[in-house]
């Protein structure tokens, strides 16, 4: 089945540690995105990539880093510089120029204590 996978579903880390969240898609989509969702709030864009080896900061990129070495993969690293990392992280992808419908992965719930 085609789709987007994120792993793990739940992740627990100690404060001060970097952690990398995985996102893989086999939809052959060019564009990929990372969002963060906090309770009772909408999605906020962290980073996005429209093509391999290129990515752009979103609205809340501070404390995060990404890479896009392969079309299928867009991992997100939450660094120790991110002040409030506990959140629900969603990865999405879309076809460029196709009404921008975004397909989401199941998400990773990160808890940092």
- Residue among 27, 46, 28 nearest 108 (CA): 46
- The Cα-based distances of 43 to 33, 86, 107 in angstroms read 11, 14, 12
Q: Are strands 10-13 and 64-66 parallel, antiparallel or unpaired?
A: unpaired
Q: CB of residue 29 vs other proteins: minimum separation in angstroms?
A: 14
Bridge partners, residue 33, by sequence: 48, 92
Q: CB of residue 96 vs other proteins: minimum separation in angstroms?
A: 10
**Nearest CB to other proteins, comparing residues 5 and 53:** 5
**Nearest CB to other proteins, comparing residues 17 and 111:** 111
Taking a C-beta distance cutoff of 8 angstroms, is the pair 76, 46 a contact?
yes
The residue within the footprint of other proteins, chosen from 1, 15, 54, 101 (CB under 8 A), is 101
Which residues in 5-64 contact other proteins (CB under 8 A)? 35, 40-45
Taking a C-beta distance cutoff of 8 angstroms, is the pair 47, 33 a contact?
yes
100 part of the interface to other proteins, by CB under 8 A: yes
Q: CB of residue 101 vs other proteins: minimum separation in angstroms?
A: 5
Which residues are at the interface with other proteins (CB under 8 A)?
Answer: 35, 40-45, 88, 90, 99-107, 109
């Amino acid at each position: 089945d085609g789709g987007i996978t994120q792993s793990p579903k739940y992740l627990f880390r100690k404060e001060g540690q970097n952690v990398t969240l995985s996102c893989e898609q086999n939809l052959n989509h060019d564009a990929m995105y990372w969002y963060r969702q906090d309770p009772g709030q909408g999605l906020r864009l962290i980073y996005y990539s429209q093509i391999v080896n290129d990515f752009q900061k979103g609205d809340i990129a501070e404390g995060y880093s990404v890479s896009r070495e392969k079309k299928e993969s867009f991992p997100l690293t939450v660094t120790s510089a991110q002040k409030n990392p506990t959140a629900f992280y969603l990865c999405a992808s879309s076809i460029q120029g196709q009404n921008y419908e975004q397909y989401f992965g199941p998400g990773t719930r990160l808890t940092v204590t």
